[in-house]
Amino acid sequence: MDVNEISFENLPKAVAHLVKEIGEIKLLIQNVQVYESKELSIPIGIEEASRLIGKAKPTIYALVRQRKIPSYKYGKKLYFFKEELLEWISKGKKKTIQEIESEVLKYNHNRNKDYGRK
């Protein structure tokens, strides 16, 4: 259906077309999410972990020894899970100045509110 052809007379047809298109888009998104979740749950070796987090292999070995990075050992081989490494990276997020200022304002607001009760 051509978008330029939409008129009051063919509005039901246009709506039906849009509903069909949305259904197809929804199905594509669901398939991508299933694929990504399956991909994340496959264990990876140190080479791929190194590429994923952007650290050299010796650095990763040091982090594993210090128990600072999530890892698994089976025999002499180290394994990692992508979702755990990505979560580990996200925990190291540094707050922006706006986030810090927002927290300060929120803290001061709550503190002043509590102070007024006493």
Residues 111 and 70 placed together within one structural domain of the fold: yes
**Which residue stretches of the chain have pLDDT < 70?**
1-4, 33-40, 114-118
Residues 62 and 33 placed together within one structural domain of the fold: no
pLDDT at residue 92 in the model: 86
| Closest residue by Cα to residue 64 from 45, 92, 39 | 45
Residues 33 and 72 placed together within one structural domain of the fold: no
- Could you give the number of structural domains in the chain? 2
Question: DSSP assignment, residue 93?
Answer: P
pLDDT at residue 40 in the model: 62
- Integer Cα distance of 117 and 17 in angstroms: 58
Residues 27 and 79 placed together within one structural domain of the fold: no
Residues 71 and 24 placed together within one structural domain of the fold: no
Residues 80 and 110 placed together within one structural domain of the fold: yes
Residues 14 and 53 placed together within one structural domain of the fold: no
pLDDT at residue 55 in the model: 95
pLDDT at residue 1 in the model: 54
Containing structural domain, residue 27: 8-37
Residue 1 falls within a domain, yes or no? no
Residue 62 falls within a domain, yes or no? yes
- Integer Cα distance of 116 and 118 in angstroms: 6
Tens of pLDDT, residue by residue over 93-103, are: 888 999 899 99
Show the CA angle centred on residue 83, arms to residues 82 and 86, nearest 5°.
Answer: 85
pLDDT at residue 116 in the model: 61
Residues 112 and 85 placed together within one structural domain of the fold: yes
pLDDT at residue 59 in the model: 96
Residues 24 and 68 placed together within one structural domain of the fold: no
